[in-house]
Structure 1
């Protein structure tokens, strides 16, 4: 599907579902990463993520178009067009548009590469300090008694 076919699809869905014409442009934007599409407030254009078509097919894109057209028509009419607005939620239900699109990115694990842990002890009072970043024991001292520190253990995870 190219941009011209997308424009025709958006115009058709707008007339069928809302009984109102779509008077602006709809096009694919490959720079979109996590969202299925977006409605631009200043220009009134609709951008669609081509990855949604690639991953899930035309049915998913039609749902995204319905969602974005809800934003479009409510904004044009001066009604509540944001996700939190009652007008928007009611129109989503009326035209059977999805509230969210399917995930477009693989879930990534949040665990970053673990740094080594350094354990220091005070020579005077035996206070223990565990740090993720290595300390210069010549420069820093114990916060409790101002005694010198000594590296006891380095754990690598």
Structure 2
């Protein structure tokens, strides 16, 4: 889908659902990562993440457009356009617009393995860390013993 077709779709949805004209720009923004779209307060433009259409199809895209148009029309009219405002929530319900879009990015559920393991000289407590720490500056939290780095070869 092109930016021109997106603009036409936004204009059509605005006219059909809200009964009002959309007078600004609408376009895809590939740099959006975790959000489906956004309404720009200063320019009144609407940006949409292209992954919404690619991953979830036309129905989800129309949902994101309706959500952003709720922000747009309320802001233009000087009413509460923010997510927490009663005007916004009421317009979402009236237009059957989604509050959130579907997940666009897959979260990495694996916990990163720690690169460094330290052991206390006194109580032998192990500390796993992602970032190297200064053993002259830090001590054991349990007994204040000195810490030393255990080489990776000994851990395997």
TM (norm. structure 2) is 0.82
Contact residue 38 and residue 48 of structure 1 kept, 8 A: yes
- Residue pairs, 1:1-157, within 5 angstroms: 1-109=1-109, 111-121=111-121, 126=122, 128=124, 130-131=126-127, 132=129, 133=132, 149=146, 151=148, 156=155
Distance 1:102 1:35 in 2: 9
Contact 2:92 2:99 in 1 (8 A): yes
Indicate if the aligned counterparts of 1:140 and 1:149 stay in contact, CA closer than 8 A. Answer: no
Alpha-carbon displacement from aligned partner over 1:90-143 (angstroms, at most 9, x marks no partner): 00000000000000001211511223422132xxxx45564444665xx57978
Contact 2:117–2:149 (8 Å) recurs in 1 = no
- Give the SS at the match of 1:7: helix
Aligned residues of 2:74 and 2:80 also touching (Cα < 8 A): yes
Q: Which deviates further from its counterpart, 25-34 or 106-115?
A: 106-115
Stretches of structure 2 that go unaligned for 5 or more consecutive residues are none
Cα 1:30–1:94 shift into 2, 3 Å: same
- 8 Å contact kept, 1:33–1:104: yes
Q: Mark the CA change 1:104 to 1:76 in structure 2 (over 3 Å): closer, same or farther.
A: same
Bigger-Rg structure (1/2): 1
**For 2:9 and 2:63, how far apart are their aligned partners in 1?**
12
Alignment TM-score, normalising by the size of structure 1 = 0.81
